[in-house]
Amino acid sequence: MSSTRSRGAEPGNWRAAWSSALLTGSRVASALVVNKIIAAYLGPSGLALVGQFQNFTAVVFGLSSGNVSNAVIATVAGAGDEEQRQRAVSTAIAVTALGTGAMALGVALAAHPIAAGALGDGALAPVLHGLALMMVPLILNVVLLAVAAGLGQVRAFVAINVGIAVFSVPVCWLMVVGYGIAGALLAAVVVNAAAVLATAAWLWRARPFPLRWLWAGIDARASRRLAGLAAMTLSTIIAVPMAQFLVRQQVVHEFGMVEAGHWQAALKTGEILLMGASVIVSLHFLPRFAHAGAGLKRSVLLAAGRVVVGLAMAGAVLAAAGGLVLPLLFSRDFVVATDLLPLQVAGDVLRGGVIVLQAAFLARARMASYVAVDLVYASVMIGVGMLWVPVRGTHGAVTAVVAASVCSLCAATLLLRRLSSAEAE
């Protein structure tokens, strides 16, 4: 790559990096504070229940619409003219609304058995009714923000998403204080519902595209392209949340909600490392992998090694200071989870390396390899968790995290070698 090309690409890369860092940083900060609020008011059992609800909603939205955000961005950005963009926008809105509406109807009709089975309390069925009521507006807001990003309106995309992260803190506090566990579960729904109004106001004022695009009908070709792009990462969206949900459910079944809450605290602490890895990939490695050429394998393995070493140093501090970190991030009720941190952190450090390797597959549009790594992670985590949780409790859960990370790292390395060999031929 010539020096001229590097200089030309640099401003755009830095703008993308800044947007990514701003979004990720706001989400990390708000997630930490929200977890602190839930832990302080509702304790370990409340934190575990919120974790189950979050994983459940991730799976539900994954089943109803797939990775619709990335699919819409790619479809709209790749459209050749205004007519194609109009078809892409209207098709995305119609298809996702229909799919999400069908899933919302199912959640509403089966709210009581889902609440009893997934959340352990049939009395929480009204929470699922509230979720079902808001599912279509929430997913349409995601679609419209993705359209904005696809049209190059990055500032609006970033501003609204950062707003969601910032306002989630006071909304969560007010709803937990006022409504307890039901408020904690629905806080994110309420914040995102407000974001629907913010997006509508932006559309009306800025008019980034003609509003007739919103109801121009379904185009068969655009629908097939959208479905194909969403399907590429559907298993990725569902696999990891489903694995966490099932292992946590096993902990709840065998040892109770409080024990599950202790693991949830360790899990959320480890996620700090994973979010950091995501920022590093966005800031430094993803653009490099896209232009790595014949040196892709060496470049990716070197980057993964550096990330793992850096995360290991940060993780060692977290694990060693667990007795101080867990009360600070959650409450004193979570000090007993200190002995879970070393294995949980070890698994997340290795998964940070996996994220770097997956970035290479993303840069090269090798979605099958990308998804395969997540499927390995999820299947190993579920299998080991089902075997070890009944024997070792929450220690079995963190053992499952380590096993899943090791196996997915091995799988990603093998797939990277195949990719490198294929490109060399």
- 285/412 same-domain check: yes
* pLDDT at residue 331, as a whole number: 87
pLDDT band at 69 (very low <50, low <70, confident <90, very high): low
Burial status of residue 21 (CB atoms within 10 A of its CB: 0-12, 13-18, 19 or more) = middle
Residue 215 lies in a domain: yes
- 274/155 same-domain check: no
57 with 128: CB under 8 angstroms?
Answer: no
Higher local confidence (pLDDT), 141 or 405: 405
- 276/326 same-domain check: yes
pLDDT digits (tens, 9 = 90+) for 279-332: 667 556 766 776 666 677 888 888 889 889 999 999 999 999 989 989 988 988
- Secondary structure in 3-state letters for 145-186: HHHHHHCCCHHHHHHHHHHHHHHHHHHHHHHHHHHHHHHHHH
- 293/418 same-domain check: yes
Supply the range of the domain harboring residue 162: 67-228
Higher local confidence (pLDDT), 28 or 416: 416
Tokens of 141: 């807001």
CA distances from 269 to 90, 191, 245, 331, 337 (A): 40, 23, 17, 13, 11
- 216/239 same-domain check: no
pLDDT band at 249 (very low <50, low <70, confident <90, very high): very high
**Residue where a domain terminates, one of 195, 228, 261:** 228
- 199/294 same-domain check: no
**Residue where a domain terminates, one of 206, 228, 250:** 228
How far is Cα 313 from Cα 58, in angstroms, rounded to an integer?
A: 31
Does the structure show a pLDDT above 60 at 180?
Answer: yes
- 164/221 same-domain check: yes
Determine what percent of the chain is predicted with pLDDT higher than 90.
40
Does the structure show a pLDDT above 60 at 119?
Answer: yes
- 198/258 same-domain check: no
- 274/386 same-domain check: yes
pLDDT digits (tens, 9 = 90+) for 149-158: 777 777 777 7
- 199/239 same-domain check: no
Residue 364 lies in a domain: yes
Residue 27 lies in a domain: no
Per DSSP, 199 falls in state: H
Question: What pTM did the predictor assign?
Answer: 0.77
* pLDDT at residue 389, as a whole number: 96
- 177/254 same-domain check: no
CB atoms within 10 A of CB 187: 24
Q: What angle do CA 279, 280, 283 make, to 5 degrees?
A: 80
Determine what percent of the chain is predicted with pLDDT higher than 70.
84
How far is Cα 420 from Cα 295, in angstroms, rounded to an integer?
A: 8
Tokens of 415: 């797939």
Residue 300 lies in a domain: yes
CA distances from 13 to 17, 151, 154, 216, 283 (A): 6, 17, 13, 34, 8
**Residue where a domain terminates, one of 228, 259, 276:** 228
Mean pLDDT in residue range 372-384: 94
Residue 277 lies in a domain: yes
pLDDT band at 176 (very low <50, low <70, confident <90, very high): very high
pLDDT band at 382 (very low <50, low <70, confident <90, very high): very high
- 208/284 same-domain check: no
Residue 93 lies in a domain: yes
Q: What is the total count of domains within the chain?
A: 2
Residue 10 lies in a domain: no
Residue 12 lies in a domain: no
Tokens of 366: 């090798």
